[in-house]
Structure 1
Amino acid sequence: MTNELLELGTCAGCGVKLQTESVENLGYIPQSALEREPLICQRCFRIKNYNEASSVAIDQDDFLRLLGGIAETNSLVVHIVDLFDFEGSLISGLQRFVGNNPVLLVVNKVDLLPKGMNMNRLLNWVQKQAKAQGLRTVDIVLCSAKRNIGFDRVVQALAEHRGDRDVYVVGATNVGKSTLINRIIRDYSDLDRELTTSRYPGTTLDAVHIPLDDGHDIIDTPGIVYHHRLTEMVPRGVLQALLPDKPIKQIVYQLNEQQTLFIGSLARFDFVEGPRQSFTLYLSNALPVHRTKLERADELYANHRGEMLAPPTREQLEDIPGWTRHRMTIKRGTDKDIVISGLGWIRINDTEGALLDIYAPKGIRVMLRDALI
């Protein structure tokens, strides 16, 4: 830790160590704000003056230490997940950290699914997946904070389940947590009047306490960084293409065995063996897909990665680990998705049985699940 950090001390709002080096990290305070009294980080400044919480991130170990204290409180825990990366954004083992406190699961970004989705079927799918992960919930709400879809139901669920409790909001990065918590602040908190920093003292780590009208708090926790998600691995310049901002248009491919699909230079899908069948890709509309023969795939990648096969660019690929192969045998009659965490998923449509190889950067989670759509 630098002498500058030691001299700056801690934020009077949330207690985190202050620093002037990185806007994206905890405790950031601009040089121009160092003359103010008391010293508060930029996140606390925004909450106090603009009724706005901003998203910050911490590593998994620090986040788990923060979660460790929730079981000792009397709180409603609001766990926000990203429907587009459900398994990748679900906090593993959350149940053991929250103790007997109720968990409200808020599934964000439903607006990204193709139009015409059956919401009841989707809710049933989420319930089944959450139960399989060992998460016990008092309620599940589907919403889009960005598009203001289902947010009335979020507010209603908070009113039903909060009682005389504080509210902890937890979630991974890039799940829309800051957008959602800003809506909660506007609906539940009276921050129009001037507040003193003592009104939101926070914890000794990095959670920010935002006062509610009834004397309780929303506790805004930093987003947890899960390195098994592609969104955490790629350079910032690739994120815009990776994260969809409007409903995805599924792409259907009729493939013969020994054919390959490249998703830019981010992933590769080999149909190694099986009868001719169709596969549907659910990806950001900004990601190009290129089809070729399996026998040409290695040569094509070597010659065109980062150029015809992009994003990322050749230069950006230098910061991304090499690919790992994941072999999957799909039994006939099964109804499955292949999920590449942070990228999207591929639905196996005809269920005729197939031998598949999926290549993704080392460390990225690749898995089978029950089909979402």
Structure 2
Amino acid sequence: MENTGVTERFEGACAGCGIAIQTEDAKRPGYAPASALQRETVICQRCFRIRHYNEVAPISMGDDDFLRILDGIGSTDSLVVMVVDIFDFHGSWLRGLPRFVGNNPILLVGNKVDLLPQNINLNRVRNWMQHEAKERGLRPADVVLVSAHKGLHIDELLARISQLRKGRDVYIVGVTNVGKSTLINRILHDYGSAELEITTSPFPGTTLDKIEIPLEDGRSIFDTPGIINRDQIGHMITPQDLRKITPTTRINPKVYQLNDGQSLFLGGLARIDFVRGPRQPFVVYVKNDMYIHRTKLENADDVLQKHHGEMLAPPTGREAAEKLPAFVKHTFKIRPTGTTDLVISGLGWVSLQGKEEASVVVHAPKGVSVGIRKGLI
């Protein structure tokens, strides 16, 4: 891919998140003190606090603002790079993408491949992503697996971008927290200018407007703000608890041999009831230090009532538990058609072998997306 020729600062815009700089109102997005405008690279106060203090900074852009920014992509002649979080594929899927991209080709990028269990067949993961994309009405030109954080397979990604863009602009899109800005930073540091760094953080909504990164051939890469998928559990908990459920190291699956009439709590954020079926393994894929509690189904309601926010944490503390939406039931019949994943958006998944029919109920906070899919692993 061509070396990026990045300017030292974006004229009138924050070099971290892309929002227009303003000096009048500290409570509005884009605020920077007047003294900051004298710096060679200008960033807003929000990006400064995220970058130097890891401080949570609220945003005031609504869904319409994000959609407005993405809405013009379909009228361009460009390559669209859609980034998803492999660990949270279900929750990080950008719905309605075809109406944004028009006839432009799509390169599907699975980020955070470093979180997948060791010895996994990456070709199988690529094929699985192609299948899942097709099920959602999308036919990507190719699938590339990367780790923006670790710098894995970035060469392969850049080669495919160069082959597919054919002299066109590139738009990088995705929902919040999939690692788009981290990926852009990796490209800038390894293949372009390290003078400009896009603000990244573990909190949703960091990039507030399109950021244009000029290329040597006169075209550009555009980093776009993340659309918020509100059915991810991360939007219903505190930033502190979000850190506790967000994996940062390779997942080590945990296997529980369950009889029917038993339940598993994933902290205090979800519960899986094995209602009916033969004894079988339930393989849990969540952050490694997530507390998992097994109990009898008949006792599960009492256990939640007594221990939610304490033993069953996250959420951490009774106050956080009380603010969490009430659990609702999702009933699934697991058929003997191969491995099936029970997916809880933003938290992880539980895998069943599907050798015999089984009945399972998943309890999750109201509004969190819960579903089943063909097994990833």
TM-score by length of 1: 0.84
Residue identity over aligned pairs, in percent, reads 46
Q: 1:322 aligns with which of 322, 326, 330?
A: 326
Deviations 1:124-168 (A, max 9, x none): 101111111111212210011111111110111111112221111
CA RMSD of aligned residues (A): 2.7
Report whether the alignment pairs 1:172 with 2:178: no
Aligned to 1:31: 33
Q: Structure 1 130/286 Cα, relative in aligned 2: closer, same or farther at 3 Å?
A: same
Match of 1:356 in 2: 360
Letter in 1 for 2:12: A
Code of the residue aligned with 2:320 in structure 1: it is Q
Residue 91 (structure 2) aligns with: 88
Q: Spell out, residue by residue over 1:260-317, the C-alpha distance to the aligned partner (whole angstroms, 9 max, x if none).
A: 1111110001111112111101000121100000111111111111111111121222
Cα contact 1:263–1:288 (8 A) shared by 2: yes
What is the distance in 2 between the residues matched to 1:56 and 1:177?
19
User: Is the CA contact 2:78–2:104 (under 8 Å) kept in the aligned structure 1?
Assistant: yes
Task: Deviation per CA, 1:222-253: give whole Å up to 9, x if none.
Answer: 11111101122211010111110111110111
Q: Residues 258-337 of structure 1 correspond to what in structure 2 (within 5 A)?
A: 258-313=261-316, 314-337=318-341
- Is the alpha carbon distance of 1:191 and 1:351 closer, same or farther for their aligned partners in structure 2, counting shifts above 3 Å? same
> Where in structure 2 are there 5+ consecutive unaligned residues?
1-10, 49-56, 197-207
The 5-angstrom pairing of residues 81-160 of structure 1 reads 81-160=84-163
Aligned with residue 342 of structure 1, among 339, 346, 351: 346
Distance 1:218 1:245 in 2: 27
* CA–CA distance in structure 2, aligned partners of residues 336 and 87 of structure 1: 14
Q: Deviations over 1:187-235 (max 9, x none)?
A: 5545759xxxxxxxxxxx9212122222221111111111101122211
1:32-69 superposed Cα distances (whole Å, 9 cap, x missing partner): 646649996539999xxxxxxxx997543322222210
Distance in 2 (CA, whole Å) between partners of 1:350 and 1:161 is: 39
Secondary structure in structure 2 of the residue aligned to 1:84: helix
What 5-or-longer segments of structure 1 have no aligned partner?
1-10, 47-54, 194-204
Aligned 8 A contact 1:265 1:312 in 2: yes
Equivalent residues of 1:93, 1:134 under 8 A apart: no
User: C-alpha separation between the residues in 2 aligned to 1:134 and 1:56?
Assistant: 34
Q: Counterpart in 1 of 2:12? A: 12
SS at match of 2:323: coil
Q: Which residue of 2 aligns with 1:21?
A: 27
Q: How many residues align?
A: 341
The TM-score, its normalising length taken from structure 2, stands at: 0.83
Secondary structure, aligned partner of 1:301: helix
Q: What secondary structure does 1:224 align onto?
A: coil
In structure 2, C-alpha distance between the alignment counterparts of 1:30 and 1:43, rounded to whole Å: 5
The SS at the match of 2:163 is helix
Give the corresponding residue for 1:199: none
Partner of 1:201: none
The answer as to whether partners of 1:190 and 1:213 remain within 8 angstroms in 2 is no
